Chain A
Amino acid sequence: MKKYTKSQLFLIEVIVSLSVLIIIVTALFSTQNFTPPISTTNLQESGENAIKLLVESGELFLYFEAAFNNYDLNNLTLLSESDPSKIPVMNTITSSIPSIANYKATAYRYNSTQLDWQQIDIVNYESDSSGFDVVDVEYYAPGYNGIYQEIIFRLFLWYEVNI
């Protein structure tokens, strides 16, 4: 049997220890998290998507037109939630947000004679966040369908349960 010299033994020891170190570090960092982080839909993003859908389908502008007429003609009342222009808006929002979330939206227009923003309507006015965290997404447009009339549509979203 060949006899190793002392320096050879040290070399082998160093190589063994280094490989053990590398194996330990690799093992430590390659472990997966056994409990995946809780995933929640980003409400802000859902709201932005809902508004994008409303704008691209033209539903938002039809709704604003009806809301204006109602506000001016019916002595500053809210537009009925069974109005044919309001139902598509409510359906689009409901289908774009998670089912455990709820919403409320407000519509404003700029009054160029009084120089202020008037709130002309509320969508889903019976809902109430009752203390849950609320996010809001706003859409601003200079006008629509050939009429210059600045408008703001503000969507509030919240989860109905704590997550």
Chain B
Amino acid sequence: MIRRGQIFLILTILSISFLVAITGVLLEIRRAEYLDPVPESDRLYYAWENSIDSIELMFDLIISENSQLNVATDITGLYNGRLNGYLTNLKNYLEERAISTQINLIGNVEYYNQSSSPQNHNVTMFAELFLSLSTPNFKLEQTLLLRVSYFVNFVGINTLVAYKNVNDHIIFQDKATILGSSGTIVDQDNGSYIITGGITGDILTFETVNFIMLVVINP
């Protein structure tokens, strides 16, 4: 028969071995190198960023084409076709890189070419898209609302300000070409242009570096 003291001894040995075993396993886990469970995720995040970037560039191209023609609003069929054509190309490109892609245009592209007064002019393009990128064990998908606007307007009588608005994020437009002024124009390199010696009623054609054309009248 085992004596009481012996049972305590055995239990102590058991508990120590459990402790050592558990500690050993935990320390091993702590020391082990972290392995990304989804090694594809970085590549997919980058592809996502690139896709959105290129869709925005496509918006710029469509705005550029239409502002150059200076066409009126509401030729939605044209814009839809142009954007859808490009989305197919983007899908093909991504699928060549082994990323399953689904891109749909939801509703219609809206395009406005408007000015609330002769001293300001803006063009806006708006679209809602569904974008889904996936690899066998990772998926990114979202509905995107993308609104790109280009604005140019007079502040006071001799300063012209130009900026781009992408989903309420402002990017000032410098290095633009301005034609039709009888005064001299100095580019401030921060999106504003100072016109000295301009005559009231000058029709100024403003063209950004990516060929988006806007028209304003000198006040």
A→B interface (CB under 8 Å): 21, 24-25, 28-29, 44, 48, 55, 58, 137-148, 150
Q: Does B151 contact A (CB under 8 A)?
A: no
Contacts A28-B23, A146-B65 given; does A55 touch B210 at CB 8 Å: no
Contact B57 A143 (CB under 8 A): yes
Cβ-neighbour of A142 out of B49, B61, B97 (below 8 A) = B61
Chain B contacts for A140, CB-based, 8 A: 50, 54, 90, 93
Instruction: Tell me the total A-B contact number using a CB cutoff of 8 A.
Output: 52
Closest Cβ of chain A to B21, distance in Å, is: 13
In Å, the complex CA distance between A139 and B51 comes to: 9
Q: Does B211 contact A (CB under 8 A)?
A: yes
Smallest CB gap from A145: residue in B: B210
Cβ-neighbour of A58 out of B89, B209, B212 (below 8 A) = B209
Contact A141 B53 (CB under 8 A): yes
Chain B contacts for A142, CB-based, 8 A: 54, 57-58, 61, 86, 89-90
In Å, the complex CA distance between A137 and B211 comes to: 28
Contacts A44-B42, A145-B211 given; does A29 touch B26 at CB 8 Å: yes
Contact with A along B77-92 (1 / 0, CB 8 A): 0000000001001100
Smallest CB gap from A48: residue in B: B46
B→A interface (CB under 8 Å): 19, 23, 26-27, 30, 42, 46, 49-50, 53-54, 57-58, 61, 64-65, 68, 86, 89-90, 93, 97, 209-212
Contacts A28-B23, A141-B54 given; does A146 touch B89 at CB 8 Å: no
Cβ-neighbour of A143 out of B19, B61, B68 (below 8 A) = B61
Chain B contacts for A147, CB-based, 8 A: 61
Chain B contacts for A141, CB-based, 8 A: 53-54, 57
Chain A contacts for B64, CB-based, 8 A: 146
Contact A139 B50 (CB under 8 A): yes
In Å, the complex CA distance between A58 and B65 comes to: 19
Contact A25 B23 (CB under 8 A): yes
Chain A contacts for B90, CB-based, 8 A: 140, 142
Closest Cβ of chain B to A29, distance in Å, is: 7
In Å, the complex CA distance between A141 and B52 comes to: 10
Contacts A21-B19, A25-B23 given; does A144 touch B210 at CB 8 Å: yes
In Å, the complex CA distance between A160 and B46 comes to: 25
Closest Cβ of chain B to A145, distance in Å, is: 5
Add 19 more A-B contacts to A48-B49, A137-B46, A146-B64 (CB < 8 A).
A28-B23, A29-B26, A58-B209, A140-B93, A141-B57, A142-B57, A142-B58, A142-B90, A143-B57, A143-B58, A144-B57, A144-B210, A145-B209, A145-B210, A145-B211, A146-B61, A146-B65, A146-B210, A150-B89
Chain A contacts for B57, CB-based, 8 A: 141-144
